[in-house]
Amino acid sequence: MDQNLTRKDFLKYSSAASAAMLLNALHIHAEEQNLSTLKIAIIGCGSVSNRYIPHLQSSSSVEIVALCDIKYERALEQKKQYHLSAETYNSIEAMLKGVAFDMMVTLTDMQVHGELNKKALQAGKHVWSEKPMANTYAEGKALLALAQSKKLKLWGAPAVVNSPQFAFMNKMIQEGKLGRIASAHGQYGHTGPTWSAFFYEKGGGSMPDLGVYNIATLTALLGPAKSIMAMTSIVNPSREIDNRGVVKVEAEDNAHLLLDHGKGIISHIMCGFNYFDPHGHEAKGQQLHSIQIFGDKANMRLIGYDWETNGVYLDDSWETQAKLYEAETGGYQWQEGATKVAESIVGNTSPKINVEHALHVLEIIESARKSSAEGKKIYLTSSFKWPLF
């Protein structure tokens, strides 16, 4: 028996009804010892799970032991499609009473991330959450406090800071190659997902789905934002959703944000579900310079989107043309976040992704809505250790 469990704990857990809790508790304590694999439970077996599952399977440090979806047939389908020996569940409650696991990977509708992440943390599980990690900044802060009080790890997507292109831009800025930085721009848009309504319902929107990438990239490169002014709108009041019909759009499908990063640096981000993009949702072959950073000695332009990019142009000469750097992915994939943080637990290392940063991004999204609704500048309260690395 685990030495950290007292006799009182054992008696508390020893009734037949609590057997599953005991097994889970033993498992958590075991995890503090040297683990060679982290047991993963995936909640939400929809579109993005098709990117996460193969990536998790590619790592020798993780094992997918549970799949859960309220549309239970989806959990069964993913088990079959990816030849998993995982247990399947139709609710988080059933999953938390079932097979022991270490970390929950949350891939559900955005609106339920906060409540699901809280239940997992309360049950002693680490959490990697797709964005947003909570539905309000206050809820996100409470989740982090809960995780810290239980010595658990909590992380939120995206994983953009892991790319070699991010590392290059970060290095150029930290080494002062751009001179005095004045302005930056980020943009991300397409004509919007058609497979689920939650993207357009309250708690959804183009900021937590798309703008979140640019907000994460620009705050990580330029530093935490001190204040924000924004305008958001709904361009399409209704949407046609696959197998569902027409739904009312309640969350912004168009947003422009202005962020003050201090020292006079201002960035602009635009995102929306109404941008024609012949490269589609997958953005294959996208050449747009979606991130641009301007200093008085050089500027940088990232090719494609920050979550899947093919390089960065650095323009620092009056005589020669801009040079292309980091044209290879270096193994980075946008869906790697859960795998990388799981590997960091097993290897006892610190990942580049940082939860305070995700929380800051969440406060920016919430404050952008407030700024737009009230027509005023909003001062931000959150921050994170910067530079990230």
Ligand X SMILES: NC(=O)c1ccc[n+]([C@@H]2O[C@H](COP(=O)([O-])OP(=O)(O)OC[C@H]3O[C@@H](n4cnc5c(N)ncnc54)[C@H](O)[C@@H]3O)[C@@H](O)[C@H]2O)c1
Q: Rule CB under 6 A: which residues touch ligand X?
A: 43-48, 68-71, 74, 92, 107-110, 112, 116, 130-131, 195-196, 209
- Tell me how far apart the alpha carbons of residues 159 and 110 are, in angstroms, rounded to a whole number: 17
Secondary structure element (H or E) that encloses residue 203, with its range: none
Q: Are 307 and 158 in contact (CB under 8 A)?
A: yes
Q: How far is the CB of 187 from ligand X (least distance, A)?
A: 17
Quick one: 193 or 295, whose CB is closer to ligand X? 193
Query: Phi-psi category of 224—alpha, beta or left, where left has phi over 0 and alpha has psi -120 to 50?
Result: beta
DSSP state of 130: P
Q: What is the nearest approach in angstroms of ligand X to the Cβ of residue 134?
A: 12
By three-state DSSP, how is residue 38 classified? strand
CB 113 to ligand X: min, Å: 7
Tell me which residue has its CB nearest to ligand X: 46
What letter does residue 210 receive in the DSSP assignment?
Answer: I
Nearest Cα to 133, choosing from 287, 325, 357, 368?
Answer: 357
Query: By C-beta, is 107 or 218 nearer to ligand X?
Result: 107
Q: Minimal distance in Å, beta carbon 188 to ligand X?
A: 11
Give the nearer residue to ligand X in terms of CB position, either 157 or 300.
Answer: 157
C-beta closer to ligand X: residue 199 or 294: 199
Residues contacting 143, CB < 8 A, separation 6+: 114, 117, 118, 121, 127, 133, 134, 154
Query: CB of residue 210 vs ligand X: minimum separation in angstroms?
Result: 9
- Residue 120 and residue 134 in contact, taking contact as beta carbons nearer than 8 Å: no
Report d(CA 257, CA 270) in Å as an integer. 6
Alpha carbons 241 and 88: distance in angstroms, whole number? 27
| Distance in Å, CB of 116 to ligand X, minimum | 6
- Judged by beta carbon, residue 291 or residue 293, the one nearer ligand X is 291
Beta carbon nearer to ligand X, 98 or 295:
98
Q: What is the DSSP annotation of 297-341?
A: S-EEEEEEETTEEEEEEEE--SSSPPEEE--S-TT--GGGHHHHH
Q: How far is the CB of 108 from ligand X (least distance, A)?
A: 4
Partner residues linked to 2 by β-bridges: none
Nearer to ligand X, 71 or 80 (CB): 71
